[in-house]
Copies of this chain bind each other. A is one copy, B any other.
Amino acid sequence: MSLPRSMICKGCWQQMHLPVPLRGPASIPFRAFGIRPSRMNPNTCTICELMFTRVMKARQINVDVSVLFADLRGYTTLSQSHPATAVSSLLDVFYDECAEAIWEYDGLLNKTVGDAIMAIFNFPIRHDDHAQRAVRAARDIQHRCRHLGRELDFPKGAEADGSELGVGIGIDSGQTSFGEFGRSHRDLTAIGTVVNTAARAQSVAEAGCILVTGAVRSRAPAETNAGEGRAYELKGFDKPMELYAV
């Protein structure tokens, strides 16, 4: 189920009050100049992606964001015992469901790697309630992916033989460095402790589970108040970290 797309770029409108057409006849001259919907969020444009070097005259900026990692649990096991076509259609569906959930809350689907995705909230489309949006997107991903195995052509019992499918999600909020990294490869992404923490939180989240940090909890109390805290030992962190299941 995909939502209707924006006709103009939400990022350019919000930040420069420029109506950059993304769809329809008005978008044709823009496309000739390479301005088209971003693959990371179809409601923003390729200008938003390049805003750093061309518009902001900076390669990287510091920005307060929420970072979400989601990983398809059981995928490694499944890919050993099932045909590549079934596994790739599973991934197609997983990516698409994540994309729709993230875009619904104006997030950026920044990365997909194998069975995991990374999303950023509050850039290029700004929202003060980005932590809340990230939690809602996470819930939406869990909701959309709950029957992932069943809808596909997996033989019956695939989920029972130790290859249970499910999504583990981790979220953190705070200051990150966002922009282009690498000079010869150039890649648009966010880096910093927040990114690492979200990735580590995801790695300890069980299938069907969303783990958020204290920073997310204090910014989005209405969404996370019911969550129980537990201290986790995370790889690369000296001290155990308190994470909340929401």
Is A95's CB within 8 Å of the partner chain B? yes
Interface of A is mostly: mixed
How far apart are the CA atoms of A196 and B175 in the complex, in Å? Answer: 31
Is A19's CB within 8 Å of the partner chain B? no
Q: Which of B77, B87, B92 contacts A192 (CB 8 A)?
A: B87
- Copy number in the complex reads 2
- State the Cβ distance, A70 to closest chain B Cβ, in Å: 13
Q: Which of B177, B186, B187, B238 contacts A84 (CB 8 A)?
A: B177
How far apart are the CA atoms of A39 and B185 in the complex, in Å? Answer: 6
**B189 lies within 8 A of A76 (CB):** no
Is A13's CB within 8 Å of the partner chain B? no
Apart from A60-B88, A95-B187, A111-B111, what are 13 other A-B pairs with CB-CB below 8 Å? A39-B186, A39-B187, A40-B185, A62-B84, A76-B236, A77-B236, A77-B238, A84-B175, A87-B192, A92-B183, A96-B183, A99-B182, A113-B189
Interface residues of A (CB under 8 A from B): 2, 34, 39-40, 42, 60, 62, 75-77, 79-80, 84-85, 87-88, 91-92, 95-96, 98-100, 109, 111-115, 118, 162, 175, 177, 179, 181-187, 189, 191-193, 195-196, 199-200, 235-238
Nearest first, the 9 closest Cβ-Cβ pairs linking A and B are A76-B236, A95-B182, A99-B185, A76-B196, A84-B177, A112-B187, A99-B184, A88-B177, A96-B184
